[in-house]
Structure 1
Amino acid sequence: MIVRILGEGQYDVDDGALERLNELDSAVEAAVEAGDEAALSAALGALHDAVRSGGSAHAADSLDESDLILPPAGATVDEVRELLGDDGLIPG
């Protein structure tokens, strides 16, 4: 799957990483629900790190559509809240 981190780029991530990404997504959701900017920053950082370490950079000149889109580092609770769907940032 192709995961885009806004402001950074796209990564090719194996579908096997989805369970771990969902766990980290739950922490992002909890931080947003609590309105906790510090917890959001930590959870989002962990989610980004998992994408980077579990994937490889997708070709920058590729026009492939992203399967998942994550907010950028430094995103606020309100900004992330706008991106959250019923299943969080990562469906499933």
Structure 2
Amino acid sequence: MIVRIMGEGQWKVEDCHFVELNKLDDELLAEMESGDGAGFRRTLGALLDAVRRFGAPLPDDSLEPSELILPSPDATLGEVKAMLSDDGLIPG
């Protein structure tokens, strides 16, 4: 799957890594619902780091469509809430 981190670029992430990414997404959603700003910031960073660690970066000039778009590392809680679906940031 092609994952875009806003303001950074795209990574090709194999499907086998989405179990861990979904776990972080669930944590992020719970922290947002409880208003845990520090937890939100920590988990958002961990989620983005996992995408970078598991994924292979695509060249900057690549025009692949992103199947998943994640917020930038400095996104606010409100900005991320606006991006959420019922499943969080990552469907499934």
* Alignment TM-score > 0.5, same fold: yes
Match of 1:35 in 2: 35
**Normalization by structure 2: what TM-score?**
0.95
- Structure 1 runs of 4+ with >3 Å offset: none
Deviations for 1:39-81, whole angstroms, at most 9, x for unmatched residues? 1110001001110110110121111111111111121111110
Which stretches in structure 2 are left out of the alignment for 5+ residues? none
Give 1:69-84 correspondences, 5 Å limit.
69-84=69-84
Match of 2:57 in 1: 57
**Cα distance between partner residues in 1 of 2:75 and 2:27:** 15
Kindly report the root-mean-square deviation, in angstroms, between the aligned alpha carbons of the 2 structures: 0.8
Which stretches in structure 1 are left out of the alignment for 5+ residues? none
Match of 1:12 in 2: 12
How high is the sequence identity, in percent, across the aligned residues? 53
Aligned residue identity for 1:64:
E
Q: How many pairs are equivalent?
A: 92
Post-superposition offset of 1:11: 0.4
Match of 2:48 in 1: 48
Post-superposition offset of 1:36: 1.8
**Cα distance between partner residues in 1 of 2:10 and 2:27:** 22
